[in-house]
Amino acid sequence: MRLQPFRLVPLFDPRPWGRMDLAPWFPPAAEPIGEVWYHERNRTAVGPALKELLAGHGAELLGPAVDTPVFPLLAKFIFTADKLSVQVHPDDDYARRVEGQWGKIEAWYVLRAEPGARLALGLKERLEPERFREAASNGRIEQLLEWRQIRPGDVFVIYPGTIHALGAGVVLVEIQQNSDLTYRIYDYGRPRPLHLDQAVQVATLGPYPGSPAPVALPDGWVLLARTRYFSAELRDLTGPVRYEPDASRFHLLVVLEGRGALAGQAMAAGDCWFVPAAAAPFAIEPVGTLRLLRAYYPGGD
């Protein structure tokens, strides 16, 4: 069975730290939007939700390399007008034992960063659990984080256990293991629950180990991040290309910049396209420069 690529309809998630100006990726919002999601719960441009299509055509859509019990990927755009909470994600072992679900690893690719925009990854020094708990309780944890200035094009892998926070004035795209399991450590007084007991058990109470540098691949793509649960690759197109789907696994193609046509269908910044494993080769025709992020589940290699 040969299937055509299809577009996922975005899911908009309001957050207190989000923003209403989402240009050029999406129209203006009526309330602050923090995240725009693409995963199995999204409706598709062909009608049904992706989850419904998977129920009827899972093998043709996903491919034999995707052997996970749940859809493996979640892609997001994140928009910040204020600071996110200081938070941490557990690994699979803890999450399965305690929460009955997957843990979470993610990668960030920065699209925009206002002057002075920054994020925090890890701690400046190693802390004992008691000092960490005290700092989280009184807010001093913000001063103990390792903050760094960021700019467009930066790539960061957020490993399970990494204490992290994202500042204001940032737009980024995130590719992650399909899990929404987050433990908040400090939230600047917002009336949302914290999860300090869990965070103490899963957090790495020390410096961030760093992210691998991007690697140019022979086929023209640039590898941004590769983990057990996802690979994320980037490519700029300035002329037509023939896209060869992978018969062993589906691809997600996220349009970061520009516009054009994919398999004869209009595509624009903010789009996320699902490329079935059983899809036939198709043309991508940019208008000007088109920047794409490709994500897939690497299992089965």
**Residues labelled as active-site residues:** 184
Site of tokens 């019990």 = 69
Distance CA 194, CA 104 (A): 18
Quickly count helices (H) and strands (E) in the chain: 5, 20
Site of tokens 């054009």 = 260
What Cα–Cα distance (Å) separates residue 291 from each residue in 152, 220, 257, 296?
Answer: 13, 12, 5, 17
Question: Is residue 230 within 8 Å of residue 72, measured between CB atoms?
Answer: yes
Written as six digits, the tokens of 189 are 């007084």
Task: Pick the closest to residue 250 from 47, 63, 26, 55 (CA basis).
Answer: 63
Encoded amino acid at 29, one letter: A
- Helix segments in the chain, DSSP class H: 50-62, 92-94, 129-138, 141-144, 196-202
Question: Is residue 298 within 8 Å of residue 226, measured between CB atoms?
Answer: yes
Written as six digits, the tokens of 56 are 């009827």
Question: Is residue 3 within 8 Å of residue 61, measured between CB atoms?
Answer: yes
Question: Is residue 167 within 8 Å of residue 80, measured between CB atoms?
Answer: yes
